[in-house]
């Protein structure tokens, strides 16, 4: 009977030890999960060194825009038509539209069709303005091998006449060398270079067409 007096105390101590063990074990469960490392990529395109500008006009390159869903650094892929998904461990270092801006300036300078090509960082007065918008940029797994699909809308505006000279969409697809995010990055950069050179040719053609011609003698 004497030992029975101490039984509640032993039970209480045991319960406390069990609770402490559960709390210590639960701490690991409450710790935030380790985030997977994120791979980041940039849009890149190499152009030949620019020659001296041969044209008379100054072209202002407006900051590119992007359609909803394509205006963030998230890398988009599709396995089902019209359904956008995002890679969880791979993304662009910035939004594609923002990365496109300096590359667009380089491509237009490479054409050597203007006295100068400027962007929002310049205070120079311009004769023409180029507006662009990314309509889609996605890695498509609808076929094998997969491919990257890039569509850019471009509009050239005469700032003096305050009129639209021309509008066109440039649609480029490139096969990915591998069916993974890195293969998509390589295909994207190839598609970007092709689209930018096409846009540069478009601007050169339309700006030349808009120049006044002297009357025949």
- 83 with 177, same domain: the answer is yes
Contacts of 147 (CB under 8 A, 6+ apart): 139, 140, 173, 174, 175, 176, 187
pLDDT tens digits, the chain, 217 residues: what are they? Answer: 444 445 555 555 555 555 555 554 554 445 555 556 899 999 999 988 766 667 889 999 999 999 999 999 999 999 999 999 999 999 999 999 999 999 999 999 998 889 999 998 887 899 999 999 999 999 999 999 999 999 999 999 999 999 999 999 999 999 999 999 999 999 999 999 999 999 999 999 998 766 644 334 3
- 99 with 23, same domain: the answer is no
Question: Is the pTM higher than 0.85?
Answer: no
Please check whether residue 17 lies inside any domain of the structure.
Answer: yes
- 4 with 111, same domain: the answer is no
Domain span at residue 2 reads 1-32
- 81 with 114, same domain: the answer is yes
- 172 with 204, same domain: the answer is yes
Residue 214, token pair as written in the block: 């002297």
- 175 with 93, same domain: the answer is yes
Q: How many residues in the chain?
A: 217
What is the C-alpha separation between 94 and 180, in angstroms, rounded?
Answer: 20
């Amino acid at each position: 009977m004497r030992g029975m007096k101490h039984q509640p105390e032993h039970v209480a101590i045991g319960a406390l030890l069990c609770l402490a063990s559960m709390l210590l074990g639960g701490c690991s469960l409450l710790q935030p999960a380790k985030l997977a490392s994120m791979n980041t990529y940039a849009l890149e395109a190499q152009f030949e060194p620019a020659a001296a500008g041969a044209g008379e006009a100054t072209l202002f390159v407006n900051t590119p825009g992007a359609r909803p869903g394509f205006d963030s650094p998230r890398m988009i892929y599709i396995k089902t038509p019209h359904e956008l998904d995002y890679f969880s461990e791979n993304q662009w270092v910035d939004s594609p539209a923002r990365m496109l801006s300096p590359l667009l300036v380089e491509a237009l300078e490479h054409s050597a069709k203007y006295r100068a090509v400027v962007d929002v960082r310049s205070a120079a007065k311009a004769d023409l303005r180029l507006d662009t918008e990314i309509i889609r940029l996605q890695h498509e797994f609808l076929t094998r091998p997969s491919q990257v699909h890039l569509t850019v809308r471009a509009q050239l505006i005469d700032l003096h006449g305050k009129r639209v000279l021309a509008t066109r969409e440039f649609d480029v697809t490139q096969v990915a060398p591998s069916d993974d995010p890195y293969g998509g990055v390589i295909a994207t950069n190839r598609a970007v270079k092709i689209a930018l050179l096409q846009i540069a040719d478009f601007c050169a053609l339309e700006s030349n067409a808009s120049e006044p011609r002297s009357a025949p003698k």
